[in-house]
Amino acid sequence: MSILCGKNILLGISAGIAAYKTASLVRLFIKSGATVKVVMTPSSKDFITPLTLSTLSKNPVYSSFVNEEDDNAVWNNHVDLGLWADLFIIAPATANTLSKMANGVCDNLLLATYLSAKCPVYFAPTMDLDMYKHPSTLQSFEKLKAFGNIMIPATSGELASGLVGEGRMAEPEDILTFIENDILDALALRGKKVLITAGPTHEAIDPVRFIGNHSSGKMGFEIAKASANLGAEVFLVTGPTHQKVTHSLINLIPVTSAEEMYQACHTYFNDMDIAILSAAVADFKPKEVSTEKIKKSASTLRLELEKTKDILQSLGKIKTNQYLVGFALETNNELENAKDKLKRKHLNLIVLNSLNDKGAGFKSDTNKVTFIDADDNVMAFPLKSKADVAKDLLDKIINEIHA
């Protein structure tokens, strides 16, 4: 899945012959999982129709401040458009539009939206060779880059005038790749490998029954998504859960028992940069597992249990440069127990949550946690969504590993 999946992309189109390529560009953004809206300069409609772009984007196309054909004269709010966008791509960006952007001229909806945007802005120049090399155009490039805008370089080739040279707008596929790579390169966990465990484990009693717990896996899956969104390659070892994940950077490794989770973690751990073990692993398992369903022939059933392997402690013993994070779900003496676990298991960080806190723990969409690091720093957080807890956790890890 593309890093653009779930993003709001605003495509700005100015009046260059390369505008015909924007139909393909919209399709590529949509295929990547993005939501696309289009804003055009009035003159760009001479090169490609709003109807085409509206059909492809499945959204209205904006080209003026007021829809004059509408009897109610609805105002197209450039501020709302600019704030809606996660990314603003201006392609094609003509010499005229670039000059106006560089100098704060605001005489159409596209330019007003550009001046209102708070998101990253990419521009893909297109113009004839001499225009591209003109000092005023080069000055526009430099001013826009100084503003923090990102230039998608034009390529060389046959131009509309018949000349051959620089000034041809990058192809839609190349624009997509450029943006994806630019986003990924800026992500804090780009190039890192992260091992995450999630969910419960099920320890078989017989072919039908098992010992388990109420973990839903929500916390671990949120951490996996947040890690992948920061550019990490994620190895998500998950026990039985109804949670779903679709991300090209997440490798899903389903397991059932504590022993299977132990083996999977040890398979991947040596190659990891970070390991976050949020799974609720069963502490005990039946010593003997019946090969047949146990009949309900008596009023009681006696099971002999034995300890499962301590995955977190075993990784703590063999870790070299990995940043290792554990979770502690406590019901009494929470802080003391968490600090003890942090030291015994050779962790870099432990995440404490308590079943005594309303809205925290299993199954809920929220959690209330406290971070304790190896330097005995304690950071307590209010009740938050598990998605926000995941972001806080990764912010803490990133600050630690870059310190």
193-290+304-401 maps to CATH 3.40.50.1820: no
Segment 98-124, tens digit of pLDDT = 999 999 999 999 999 999 999 999 999
**Residue 403 scores a pLDDT above 80:** no
Average pLDDT for residues 81-103, to the nearest whole number? 96
d(CA 357, CA 331): 9
What are 245-273's pLDDT values in tens digits?
A: 888 889 999 999 999 999 999 999 999 99
Q: What's the first-to-final CA gap in the chain, in angstroms?
A: 31
**43: which DSSP letter?**
G
Q: What is the mean pLDDT of the chain?
A: 92
Q: Does 193-290+304-401 match 8-185 at the fold level? A: yes
- Residue range 341-365: mean pLDDT, rounded: 83
**Predicted local confidence at residue 258, as pLDDT:** 97
Residue 161 binned pLDDT confidence (cut-offs 50, 70, 90): confident
- Domain boundaries, given as residue ranges, for the chain: 8-185, 193-290+304-401
Residue 36 φ/ψ region, left for φ over 0, alpha for ψ in the -120 to 50 degree band, beta for the rest: beta
- Which active-site residues does the annotation give? 213
Res. 172: pLDDT tops 80? yes
Q: State yes or no: pLDDT of 69 exceeds 70.
A: no
Q: What are phi and psi of 149, to 5 degrees?
A: -70, 155
Give the model's pLDDT for residue 345.
96
The DSSP string of 191-243 is: T-EEEEEESB--EESSSS-EE-----SHHHHHHHHHHHHTT-EEEEEE-S---
Q: Which residues contact 338 (CB under 8 A, 6 or more apart)?
A: 328, 330, 350, 352, 370, 372
Give the mean pLDDT of 341-351: 96
Its sign, for the CA torsion 171, 172, 175, 177, is negative
Q: Does domain 8-185 have CATH number 3.30.930.10?
A: no
Whether the per-residue pLDDT at 334 is higher than 90: the answer is no
pLDDT over 70, % of the chain: 96
pLDDT reported for residue 297: 79
For residue range 275-318, list pLDDT tens digits in order: 999 999 999 999 999 999 988 877 888 899 999 999 999 999 99
In whole angstroms, give the CA distance from residue 237 to residue 251.
8
